[in-house]
Amino acid sequence: MFRTLDHPLIAGELTRLREPSCPSPEFRQRLRRIASLMAPYVTEDLETQVVPCTTPLEITSGRHLIREITLVPVLRAGLAFLDGFLDMIPQASVAHIGLARNEETLLPEPYYIKHPPALHQRDVIVLDPMLATGGSAVEAVRRMKDAGARNIRFACLVAAPEGVSALETAYPEVPVFAAALDRCLNAKGYILPGLGDAGDRMFGTCP
């Protein structure tokens, strides 16, 4: 399942964020806001159970999530995305995965992983703003599965058709959410029209 979250507020934020004149502090702020706007859609079908709820006036019923949520930002660019999701889901635990794409081979090179225990009991949301070739997303999902996760979804800002196809082929059971589906990749594996290198723009490390 691939879903584009085509929302006017998200589209407005993304339009400004794509522009090279958008500096790092503003880039991070807007990315965080988009993540917060996306979070309700990404989580809307999480399973809940009915629980008793006592108001000051009477007893009624409410709902609780059945499973705890673990957010998984792919370093580095997943971090600002994480902040927006944490604003909406502060109780979530966080697993970090460090992946750096080799700019020659375009393959992800893992350098860090740390996750909470019992991932099989959690709803896991992998976060990475950019889904380009899909190599990093496939690797991140694979690592979460190897660690025991069963209920995984993936959220990104901008997706290329090539990345969506790679992720859907590798893990058809993983729902994928994006703020925008762009046109294609260029010869260097960058998304067109895209926004450039998200990590560099976020942290002011553009060459």
Report how far residue 35's alpha carbon sits from residue 43's, in angstroms, rounded to the nearest whole number. Answer: 12
Of the two residues 22 and 100, which places its CB atom closer to ligand PRP in the complex?
100
Question: Residue 62 CA to chain centroid, in angstroms?
Answer: 28
- Site for ligand PRP (CB under 6 A): which residue of 73, 84, 135, 194? 135
- Is 79 an interacting residue with respect to ligand PRP (CB under 6 A)? no
Binding mask 40-79 for ligand URA (x = CB under 6 A): -------------------------------------x--
Which H or E element spans position 52? Answer: strand 48-54
The nearest distance, CB 131 to ligand URA, in angstroms, is: 8
Report how far residue 92's alpha carbon sits from residue 107's, in angstroms, rounded to the nearest whole number. Answer: 29
Report how far residue 1's alpha carbon sits from residue 173's, in angstroms, rounded to the nearest whole number. Answer: 8
Of the two residues 42 and 137, which places its CB atom closer to ligand PRP in the complex?
137
Query: For 138-142, which contacts have Cβ atoms below 8 Å and span 24 or more sequence positions?
Result: 138/166, 138/167, 138/170, 138/171, 139/99, 139/108, 139/110, 140/72, 140/74, 140/97, 140/99, 141/167, 141/170, 141/171, 141/174, 142/170
Which H or E element spans position 28? Answer: helix 24-42
The nearest distance, CB 167 to ligand PRP, in angstroms, is: 9
Question: Are 76 and 199 contacting, i.e. CB atoms less than 8 angstroms apart?
Answer: yes
The nearest distance, CB 29 to ligand PRP, in angstroms, is: 18
Report how far residue 79's alpha carbon sits from residue 75's, in angstroms, rounded to the nearest whole number. Answer: 7
Q: Binding to ligand URA (CB under 6 A): which residues in 174-203?
A: 189-191, 194, 197-199
Residues contacting ligand PRP: total by CB under 6 A? 25
Of the two residues 149 and 202, which places its CB atom closer to ligand URA in the complex?
202
Binding mask 120-149 for ligand URA (x = CB under 6 A): ----------x-x-----------------
Applying CB under 6 A, which residues contact ligand PRP? 74-77, 99-101, 106, 108, 128-137, 163, 189, 197-200
Applying CB under 6 A, which residues contact ligand URA? 77, 130, 132, 189-191, 194, 197-199
